[in-house]
């Protein structure tokens, strides 16, 4: 249900003005497992689908990932944010350099969201390294442009954004809930590992302060764009699309082998 930008549905939330689009959300009334709150519920999954698919369209049509976003945005604050992000990350158009042909492949990916289509704007660029031999992904750097209106505590805001990035890189690359037919089985740090300090990326942030605007929240928006930016960067590095988190090495290696066999 819903179509195009400007019509908010909590299961959709596409910020772009697309002339030909049909968006459908299928809601589950009941699920077999009880659910509890987690940072950016539904927004993370929704943005992962939207921004990964837009990146795929950009690649198929030979359009730079930044260009396809700015081409279909009419929101001036969103456009300004993307331009500032492009500058912060020193973005070069996709295809301006050949893919690495050694053991390690490096790539960059971008993702953007206007949170729930009604508040905080955020965009990120993720720089990743992918090991062809074992499928291991390392997120080296993340650049964030963030507009939540009037900024009341810049230092606290930066800390919140950094925490969002680190936690969601962990959720994207490592964390996986496991369960049997009767109970959750990932009950400790051995069975539910998280990101470790050597794998924490560098985070560069551009805060866009708007003293005359309403202050919005920053607890979740950055979370929503991390998985898609990483997935888009992996494609830039390897030509392989990853469509389900977590991007653990065995999963990535299998995807790369499948792509090579085609």
pTM of the model: 0.93
> Is the confidence at residue 17, as pLDDT, over 50?
yes
What are the residues facing 207 on neighbouring strands?
Answer: 146
The pLDDT value given to residue 19: 83
State the pairing for strand pair 104-114/137-147. unpaired
CA distances from 131 to 78, 126, 173, 252 (A): 34, 16, 14, 10
Angle formed at CA 201 by CA 215 and CA 86, multiple of 5 degrees: 60
Q: Tokens standing for 18?
A: 């697309």
Report residue 90's pLDDT band, with 50, 70 and 90 as the boundaries. very high
Domains of the chain: 43-261 (3.30.365.10)
């Amino acid at each position: 249900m819903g179509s195009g930008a400007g019509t908010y549905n909590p299961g959709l939330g596409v910020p772009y003005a697309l002339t030909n689009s049909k968006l459908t959300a299928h809601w589950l009334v009941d699920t077999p497992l009880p659910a509890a709150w987690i940072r950016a519920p539904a927004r993370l999954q929704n943005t992962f689908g939207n921004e990964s698919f837009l990146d795929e369209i950009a690649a198929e049509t030979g359009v730079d990932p930044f260009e396809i976003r700015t081409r279909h945005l009419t929101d001036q604050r969103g456009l300004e944010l993307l331009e500032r992000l492009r500058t912060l990350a020193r973005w070069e158009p996709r295809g301006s350099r050949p893919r690495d042909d050694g053991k390690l492949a490096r790539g960059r990916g971008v993702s953007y969201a206007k949170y729930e289509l009604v508040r905080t704007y955020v965009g990120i660029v993720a720089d990743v390294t992918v090991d062809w031999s074992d499928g291991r992904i390392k997120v080296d750097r993340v650049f964030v442009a963030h507009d939540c209106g009037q900024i009341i505590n810049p230092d606290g805001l930066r800390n919140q954004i950094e925490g969002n990035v680190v936690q969601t890189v962990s959720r994207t690359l490592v964390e996986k809930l496991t369960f049997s037919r009767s109970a959750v089985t990932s009950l400790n740090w051995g069975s539910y590992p998280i990101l470790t300090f050597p794998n924490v990326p560098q985070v560069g942030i551009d805060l866009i302060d708007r003293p005359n605007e309403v202050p919005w929240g920053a607890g979740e928006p950055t979370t929503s764009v991390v998985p898609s930016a990483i997935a888009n960067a992996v494609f830039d590095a390897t030509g392989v699309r990853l469509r389900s988190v977590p991007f653990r090495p065995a999963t990535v290696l299998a995807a790369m082998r499948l792509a090579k066999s085609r």
